[in-house]
Chains A and B, each alone.
Chain A
Amino acid sequence: MVIFHLQFLNIFFKYNAELEEVLPLKKFVITISLVMVIGLLLGIFFYNQTPNQALPDIDPQPEEQSIDETPTQPEQIQGIYLNEQIGYSLQNDRLQITFDKGKNWITVPIEKDQLFAGEYNGNKQELIDHSYLLTENRTAFLYAEEPSWDNETIRILYTLDQGKTWMNSVVTEHYMGVRFRKVGFVDDQFGYIIISGGRTMSQEGSNVFLTFDGGQSWQETNNSGVSRLIADGGFVDAKIGFLSFGTINPEAPELYVTQDGGNTWKQATVNIPSEYANIFVQAETPFIEDDHLAVFVNQGPNGDYKGGLVKGKFISTDKGNTWVFSMEVSPDEANK
């Protein structure tokens, strides 16, 4: 075998030693070389023409404009879209909204920093979840004016005609370090705002405000008296509303319910089957489903059951007082 190889190599090199005289092989080397050089030159040319040899688009959010950058040309606005038509942008430190897929942008008369006032450490390239409504018929932004951290005025800026006219109303004054913020409307007239603030360690105050005139005036409801950190909340109609507590390592859902428009609050009983104890721990906002109420209870920030995103669906037939387990739902179903 070895002898065979050696013989083969000898023949190979003998043949090669005369490469310059062996025209086909010489042609082969030159042709291949030329093809490769031309191919790669073309490759380099096209590679440099490709715009996305830059950085990927994992997170297509508009970036804040840095101070030393002065745009010399009108900039393309990169919107964050909530559906095919409606979106917003915080580009250039301005809040702008569009109702026609970015053809026209309407500047919202508000300072960007006011949207993130209070206790908020997240990124400021997207609006805080739940702190705004952006629909064809109603657009609203919760914000805070803060002469100082412990003296904030919580306001809501809203429009009912897609930004032609804006209205502004005070929700509450002398508020301290707003953390959680949520605004929602059940119908044209009735809406709610849930805020929390004054957090010390894992305790804070939470407050609920209701409007019965489409957002012009807001009245605070009675306080739930719970000082845990609020996770979510909302109303299903003008009477029945919910507050869900526990954001850091919750062990069981702590859901409070009112059935008289916020006059009284009591803790709802969520019957967690033993096999789901310590798994489904954080209630989301209940909603009306057929003739009963339903709520998804998620796994909190640390859940790892079936990947951590599966939720438990619970049903209540007594206006939210007691909840019984219905089924597990995948994140896709829960988001429908």
Chain B
Amino acid sequence: MKQTSKKMNLIVGWILFILSIGVFFLQIGFLFFHERLQFEYIDNRLFYVFNMIFVICLFIAILLLLNLEKKWKVFGAVVVLIFMIPNITMIFQTNKEIKNIISVSPNFQHVLSLKENTKTGETYYYRSYFGILGRPKEKLPFQTNDRFKVDWLTDDIAAVTYKAKDKTVHQYIGTYGDRGTGISYYYVAAQIYGVWEGENARITNETEGLSVTVNGKTEIYKWDQVVQFGTLAIVLMKNNEAVWTIALNKDFNVEAAEKGETPGTILLYKATMGKTEPILLKRISSSM
């Protein structure tokens, strides 16, 4: 029994030791290459979290592998503590300066990452790589005000609603997929031609622009008020504020739309900081 437990300790000890070596090389690799390759952790706090994982794994591994005297165990614990304190401090400190906004898609395939410089209100959108690394893709066009709301409209469309410093509401859409072949660009507004209807909502694609009727109130958004994100969503603007997002739902098929067949459904999502659900719309007519 004692022999088995000792064996188990050794297995766990070696696993943790190898894990700590792995984390060490991850961190060192990050430190050496992040500037050259222009990537960062998708959340700046991950750097410090990995440091803590490293030191905890290493400490437990040493306890399990080596039969240390008590004074060395205490010494080890003190080293761990010394190592942990600045890391914990930095986790809070770094998030005060650079606020990280992270949201994982419902199917755990994508990570939306935003980093906001809390002093200047500059916010950058990051593309994620391997789940933990990210590269800045673009800067949000308006200075932000520390308030963000992230909703995943589908598994590959994340709608970020935020208030700019001038109190106007804006939306940024992170898109992680495609509804076509994936090799060509297409215009979302052109794909959703015809008339679409959902619960108390109707969208008509007209020559001048898109007409949106919700609860009997109709507004027309001209083409120059339509901003496309990726190939999955458009944001409708009015008076320099986002009003609606129209997204191609998961079942939307661009090839079918181009052939004149029923393309699937679309989602209409209101730009508001309050709680709101996307409205599902189906095409009822392919002409205006």
Binding site for B on A (CB under 8 A): 13, 16-17, 19-20, 26, 29-30, 32-33, 36-37, 39-41, 43-44, 46-48, 50, 52-56, 58-59, 63-64, 66, 69, 121, 123, 201-202, 247-249, 302, 304
Contacts and interface: CB of A to CB of B under 8 A. Distances in A.
29 contacts: A16-B65, A17-B6, A17-B10, A26-B66, A29-B61, A30-B62, A36-B24, A37-B55, A37-B58, A39-B28, A40-B27, A40-B28, A40-B51, A43-B28, A43-B31, A44-B90, A48-B90, A54-B97, A54-B98, A54-B117, A55-B136, A56-B136, A58-B136, A58-B139, A59-B138, A66-B120, A66-B121, A202-B222, A248-B222
Contact of A59 (B47, B55, B139): B139
Interface string B91-120: 000000110000000000000000101011
Interface stretch (B79-87, B260-268, B274-282): B79-87
A201 B128 CA distance: 40
A37 B55 CA distance: 8
Interface in B186-201: 187
A71 B141 CA distance: 24
Contacts of A55: 98, 115, 117, 122, 124, 136
Contacts of B245: none
A20 B66 contact: yes
Contacts of B121: 63, 66
A47 B47 contact: yes
Given A52-B35, A58-B124, A58-B138, A44 B87 contact: yes
A37 to B, nearest CB: 7
B66 A19 contact: yes
A81 B122 CA distance: 21
B93 to A, nearest CB: 9
Contacts of B27: 40, 43
Contacts of A53: 40, 44
Contact of A40 (B54, B98, B117): B54
Contacts of B62: 29-30, 33
A32 B21 contact: yes
Give the 5 A-B CB pairs with smallest separation, nearest first: A20-B67, A56-B136, A36-B24, A59-B139, A43-B31
Nearest to A48: B90
B165 interface: yes
A16 B65 CA distance: 8
A202 B47 CA distance: 51
A29 B65 contact: yes
A37 B83 contact: yes
B213 interface: no
B210 to A, nearest CB: 13
B54 A36 contact: yes
B287 interface: no
Most chain A CB within 10 A, of B17, B31, B61, B67, is at B31
B215 interface: no
Given A19-B66, A37-B58, A37-B79, A47 B222 contact: no
A29 B66 contact: yes
Contacts of A17: 6-7, 10
B208 interface: yes
A54 to B, nearest CB: 6
A43 B51 CA distance: 10
A54 B44 CA distance: 9
